[in-house]
Amino acid sequence: MGMTPAREKIATVGFIGLGQMGLPIAKNLLASGFALRVYNRTQGKAAPLLEMGAEQASEPEDVVSRGGIVLSMVSDDAALKAVSTDGFAERLGEDGVHISMSTVKPATSAQLAAMHARYGTAYVAAPVFGRPEAAAAKMLWVCVAGPTEAKRRVRPILDAIGQGVHDLGEQPEAANVVKLAGNFVAYAALEAIAEASALGEKNGVSRAALLGMLTQTLFNVPVYRAFSRRIIDANFERADFTAQLCLKDMLLAHDVAGQSGTPMPTLELLCERYRLALAKGRGNADATVLALSIAENADLTW
């Protein structure tokens, strides 16, 4: 990961996107002493940040300071492209840096990096691993890729929001490949946990007993523990990350796999699981609702 560079003076940072991940990230930046100018489509979501001293912008381009730094955390490729216009990049201009934390196609990052470069602006991809509670606790893992000097400049910002930064080189799309691969591994783990839970309960072992044992021994890691708690409680209504968003990410990974000729049969299964969840009206449930369909297939009632 390398040594953390000493913080240099950074002017007001622009911040776009105050959803379940963006809001706690922005709060941590303010708490760490960064000045923020923020934009969100639903302006009321900025209220907690304004109380902490942030400024509010009425349009995405209004968060930009020439030669400054803008961080975006938006929902998908379309939203990122809507923000990252030629006008936005031109206004950011020479020596400006756009940090994109969104989970998007690698091709989208490559396209936007080329567009930013035309205006002398650096595009840095910095997607993160962790749910909203990890964001609030500054426990995110950050994958970063982009021009070396831009990464050095924004490192204090990334250090302020997470527990570790992993540098994946100078091509921004590399960070997006790792993010999609990581999300696939996480939800493949969820599939395995859910299937194991159903197997246990069909044979007289409660999911609480089975998963309690496994997450205290062989699989005592955060992702297994978090997914297991959701499955044990059958608590799918409170969504930290919805089934609809998970399907979006699985389909992005599927697209990259198809373009690169990478067979991924487990990914195919996950796409079908989440298509089924949406067909059953569960798109706004937490992504762990996948486990409910597996239980139903086993004729279990939770």
> What residues act catalytically?
179
* Closest of 275, 85, 260, 78 to residue 177, by C-alpha: 260
* Closest of 139, 150, 143 to residue 96, by C-alpha: 150
β strands within the chain, DSSP E:
13-16, 36-39, 55-56, 69-72, 97-100, 122-125, 128-129, 140-144, 162-167
CA 255 to chain centre: 18
* Contact of 187 with 270, CB cutoff 8 Å: yes
**What distance in Å separates the CA atoms of residue 210 and residue 193, rounded to the nearest whole number?**
10
**What distance in Å separates the CA atoms of residue 171 and residue 142, rounded to the nearest whole number?**
15
* Closest of 263, 264, 283 to residue 273, by C-alpha: 283
Neighbours of 232 (CB within 10 A): 19
